[in-house]
Amino acid sequence: MPTPGRPALPSAAPATAAVSVNALLLHTAAKPLLFAAALLPLALLIVGALADTLGANPAEAMIRSTGDWTLRFLCLTLAVTPVRQWTGWHALARLRRMLGLFTFFHGVVHFLCFAWLDMGFDIDAIVRDIGKRPFILVGTAALGLMLPLAATSFNRAIRALGAKRWQALHRAVYATALLAILHFFWMRAGKNDFAEVAVYAAVLSLLLGWRSWRWIGARTGT
Amino acid sequence: MIQLAKRAHVQPAPSEITPRAVVLARRQLLQGLGAASALAALPGWAQVGAAGKPAALPGARSAVAGALTMDKLTPHKDATGYNNFYEFGTDKSDPAAHAGTLKTRPWTVVVEGEVRKPGTWDIESLLKLGAMEERVYRLRCVEGWSMVIPWVGYSLAELIKRVEPTGNAKFVQFVTLADREQMPGLRSPVLDWPYVEGLRLDEAMHPLTMLAFGMYGEVLPNQNGAPLRLVVPWKYGFKSGKSIVRIRFVDKQPQTSWERAASNEYGFYSNVNPTVDHPRWSQATERRIGEDGLFAKKRPTLMFNGYEPQVGQLYAGMDLKRFY
């Protein structure tokens, strides 16, 4: 973003760098590599569970780790557009859908770990727990909000909805981000331990704050 | 063959069964022999044994009713590697990682307040105050997990009787160590330090309430509350203060650290109770650490953590939903 009173960033050197990064991002191997990398955390977790290296409470370790990775992928997904603007790595755009779907994927695995490892797939207990624990309700809502986004992530859905309506629908990801961070905050509230929550909250504030600043800027025409 | 099969279904005659008392006496004898040889092999209560392992601290099998649960013991590595001791960090792997800085000698415990014999007790004199007993207690954490731990120590009542509480002593307050030099977790504002806990005098006098100096036949590892801690098996684990430095007898119910931090979530009593949920989660079930597999269903939590026959009468007529 141009800041009043300051010169624009020098353009020559970053432009060359941006071009080479874009070339890398456009490489045919970029998507398969990202796909493999995005599956790595879960793969390592499963290996850890089988090898019994997840500590004294492997169920808790799996639930927490999958939750962490959902948040991380959410941050990565939301970072695509700002980072494109800041760096000129516009080819990042082609990875955004995969990142978004992996956010949903990790959210689903996180929920399944909770439903299976914590609740033993006891539907009654799961429903009661969602009603009882605000932070579980909020987390479930965050996941529920991602469902229509994941379901309309393919090209034909975009065409069928029309770009405008598709985009409007996919703004629900901002609500998911707010619910996700509230979920994490509430979960940690018991221990009054917000150090990690603060890191994610700062990253999400930056990413969402940048968007609202730009939006306000566009509305007021500055 | 036929006769054998038949015999298998015949009840043994009462005279054929070894009386329980005899079996227990035999066990105790064998235990005593083991303890005696262990004692002979080690130079008293050295802090750390020759191999850098904690020194042995054997105890005779406790005769206190309910003190020896038959549940399977939690593996030593889990009981010493996964626990809460916020003075060393809030993650359950933090205590084992950071408690090495705790100095457990010299160590004194101040006993004060409504007692006829206030004073400062040296750890060595507390170690000799009562006969060391081994007690196998269930431990239920308020977070929903549980363990089974063989503690070594004696009833807190032994100490209480020595200091002679006055008629005004209605509650006992326990203050634990808060030293920034030794405890990195104190930099975090998670709780108001020092960590303070409390019991009603009759709870503190109950024979199951234990002053523990060891676990698994060894002196307490730092991360588990060395050199001495409380163990109150029918209450959530946080009621059992670690690394105690002060025991104060008072006339009014003292405010505990967790009440101060979140009084709507943690009450003074904090008895294990599957019918009173924590505001943010159910307390009906628990995960037994190191025993229940990853995909095992959680086991039901027992009223007073299974110690209802021993402690139920302490709460007769009380509304446990109100006094949680």
- Cα separation, B249 vs A5, in Å, equals 68
Contact B105, B123 (CB under 8 A): yes
Q: Which tokens is B300 given?
A: 């039901």
Q: Taking 50 as the threshold, does the pLDDT of residue A7 lie above it?
A: no
Q: Taking 50 as the threshold, does the pLDDT of residue A72 lie above it?
A: yes
Q: What is residue B16's predicted lDDT score, i.e. its pLDDT?
A: 52
Inter-chain contact A129–B281, Cβ cutoff 8 Å? yes
- Angle between the N-to-C axes of helices A134-151 and A172-189, in degrees from 0 to 180, rounded to the nearest 10: 160
Q: What are the tens digits of pLDDT across the range A180-205?
A: 999 999 988 877 778 899 999 999 99
Q: What are the tens digits of pLDDT across the range B292-306?
A: 778 888 899 999 999
- The domain of A181 spans 14-220
- Whether A2 is in a domain gets the answer no
A chain contacts of residue B290, beta-carbon cutoff 8 Å: 56
- Cα separation, A90 vs A96, in Å, equals 11
- Whether A8 is in a domain gets the answer no
Alpha-carbon distance values, A34 to A65, A88, A113, B176 (Å) = 19, 20, 24, 50
Q: What is residue B31's predicted lDDT score, i.e. its pLDDT?
A: 53
Q: What are the tens digits of pLDDT across the range A29-39?
A: 999 999 999 99
Inter-chain contact B265–A190, Cβ cutoff 8 Å? yes
E runs forming strands in B162-311: 171-176, 196-200, 210-215, 218-219, 229-231, 244-250, 285-288, 299-300
Least Cα distance to B145 among A58, A51, A132, A185 occurs for A58
Least Cα distance to A58 among A106, A104, A102, A116 occurs for A116
Q: What is residue A17's predicted lDDT score, i.e. its pLDDT?
A: 73
- Whether A55 is in a domain gets the answer yes
Q: Determine the average pLDDT of the residues in A78-96.
A: 94
Low-confidence ranges of chain B (pLDDT < 50): 1-10, 12, 14, 23, 29-30, 32-50
- Whether A34 is in a domain gets the answer yes
- Cα separation, B199 vs B240, in Å, equals 10
Strand-strand pairing, B229-231 and B218-219: unpaired
> What's the pTM value of the predicted model, to 2 decimals?
0.81
DSSP string computed for B113-133: ESBSS-EEEEHHHHHHHS--E
Q: Taking 50 as the threshold, does the pLDDT of residue A67 lie above it?
A: yes
Q: What is residue A192's predicted lDDT score, i.e. its pLDDT?
A: 75
Beta-carbon pairs below 8 A across chains A and B: 54
Q: What are the tens digits of pLDDT across the range A141-171?
A: 999 999 999 999 999 999 999 999 999 999 9
DSSP string computed for A17-61: HHHHHHHHHHSTTHHHHHHHHHHHHHHHHHHHHHHT-S-S-HHHH
Residues recorded for chain B: 324
B chain contacts of residue A195, beta-carbon cutoff 8 Å: 188
Contact B190, B215 (CB under 8 A): no
CA atoms within 13 A of residue A185's CA, in its CB half-sphere: 12
- Whether A6 is in a domain gets the answer no
Q: What are the tens digits of pLDDT across the range B203-217?
A: 999 999 999 999 999
- Range list of H helices, B10-117: 20-41, 76-81, 94-98
Q: What is residue B260's predicted lDDT score, i.e. its pLDDT?
A: 92
Facing residue for B294 by CB, picked from A117, A125, A128:
A117
CA dihedral A142, A147, A153, A156 (to 10 degrees): -150
Give me the number of domains chain A comprises: 1
Q: Taking 60 as the threshold, does the pLDDT of residue A43 lie above it?
A: yes
A chain contacts of residue B93, beta-carbon cutoff 8 Å: 55
Identify the structural domains of chain B with CATH numbers, from first to last.
Answer: 17-315 (3.90.420.10)
Q: What is residue A195's predicted lDDT score, i.e. its pLDDT?
A: 87
Q: What is residue A6's predicted lDDT score, i.e. its pLDDT?
A: 47
Q: What is residue B181's predicted lDDT score, i.e. its pLDDT?
A: 94
- Whether A9 is in a domain gets the answer no
